Amino acid sequence: MKQTPFTHKHLALGARMAAFAGYNMPISYTGINDEHAAVRNNAGVFDVSHMGEFILKGEHALDLIQRVTSNDASKLVNGKAQYSCLPNTTGGIIDDLLVYCIEQHKTYMLVVNAGNIDKDWNWIQQYNDKGVEMHNISDKTALLAVQGPNATQLLQPLTDMDILNLKYYTFVKGVFAGVENVLVSATGYTGAGGVEIYFDPANGAADKIWDAIFAAGAARGIQPIGLGARDTLRLEMGFCLYGNDIDDRTSPLEAGLGWITKFTKDFTNRTYLEQQKAAGVQQKLVGFEMIDKGIPRHDYGITDAAGNTIGRVTSGTQIPGLQKAVGLGYVQTAFSEPDSELYIAVRDKLLKAKVVKIPFV
Quick one: 57 and 163 in the same domain? no
Q: What Å distances lie between residue 2 and 18, 72, 155, CA to CA? A: 11, 34, 29
Quick one: 321 and 200 in the same domain? no
What pLDDT is recorded for position 321? 79
Instruction: Classify residue 245: in a domain, yes or no.
Output: no
What pLDDT is recorded for position 268? 97
Question: Would you say residue 331 has pLDDT above 90?
Answer: yes
Q: Name the β-bridge partners of 289.
A: 326, 354
313 — pLDDT class (breaks 50, 70, 90): very high
**Domain range for residue 62?**
52-137
Instruction: Classify residue 152: in a domain, yes or no.
Output: yes
Quick one: 292 and 347 in the same domain? yes
Instruction: Classify residue 248: in a domain, yes or no.
Output: no
Q: What Å distances lie between residue 335 and 314, 331, 342, CA to CA? A: 16, 6, 8
Quick one: 289 and 155 in the same domain? no
Mean pLDDT of 286-307: 97
Q: What is the CATH number of the domain that holds 27?
A: 3.30.1360.120
What pLDDT is recorded for position 51? 98
Quick one: 35 and 163 in the same domain? yes
Instruction: Classify residue 1: in a domain, yes or no.
Output: no
Question: Would you say residue 322 has pLDDT above 90?
Answer: no
Quick one: 291 and 360 in the same domain? yes
Q: What is the CATH number of the domain that holds 310?
A: 2.40.30.110
Mean pLDDT of 280-300: 97
Instruction: Classify residue 274: in a domain, yes or no.
Output: no
Mean pLDDT of 272-295: 98
Quick one: 133 and 206 in the same domain? no
Quick one: 39 and 181 in the same domain? yes
User: pLDDT by residue (tens digit) across 59-103?
Assistant: 999 999 999 999 999 999 999 999 999 999 999 999 999 999 999
Please tell me the number of Cα atoms within 13 Å of 260 on its side-chain side: 23
Task: Give the whole-angstrom CA distance, residue 78 versus residue 252.
Answer: 27
Q: Considering 236, 257, 273, which residue would you say is the last residue of a domain? A: 236
Lowest mean pLDDT among 9-13, 249-253, 301-305, 319-323: 319-323
Q: Considering 95, 121, 137, which residue would you say is the last residue of a domain? A: 137
Quick one: 42 and 145 in the same domain? yes
User: pLDDT by residue (tens digit) across 2-58?
Assistant: 999 999 999 999 999 999 999 999 999 999 999 999 999 999 999 999 999 999 999
User: pLDDT by residue (tens digit) across 126-172?
Assistant: 999 999 999 999 999 999 999 999 999 999 999 999 999 999 999 99
Quick one: 194 and 117 in the same domain? no
Quick one: 95 and 156 in the same domain? no
Q: What Å distances lie between residue 223 and 15, 39, 112, 147, 178, CA to CA? A: 12, 8, 26, 10, 22
User: pLDDT by residue (tens digit) across 89-99?
Assistant: 999 999 999 99
Q: What percent of the chain has pLDDT over 90?
A: 98
User: pLDDT by residue (tens digit) across 205-217?
Assistant: 999 999 999 999 9
Instruction: Classify residue 213: in a domain, yes or no.
Output: yes
Q: Considering 137, 165, 196, which residue would you say is the last residue of a domain? A: 137
Quick one: 32 and 155 in the same domain? yes
User: pLDDT by residue (tens digit) across 109-124?
Assistant: 999 999 999 999 999 9
Mean pLDDT of 242-270: 98
323 — pLDDT class (breaks 50, 70, 90): confident
Q: Provide the domain count of the chain.
A: 3
Instruction: Classify residue 106: in a domain, yes or no.
Output: yes
Contact 232, 32 (CB under 8 A): yes
Burial of 174 (0-12, 13-18, 19+ CB in 10 A): middle
Task: Please tell me what DSSP assigns to residue 170.
Answer: B
Instruction: Classify residue 261: in a domain, yes or no.
Output: no
Please give the mean pLDDT across all residues of the chain.
97
Q: Which residues contact 208 (CB under 8 A, 6 or more apart)?
A: 177, 178, 179
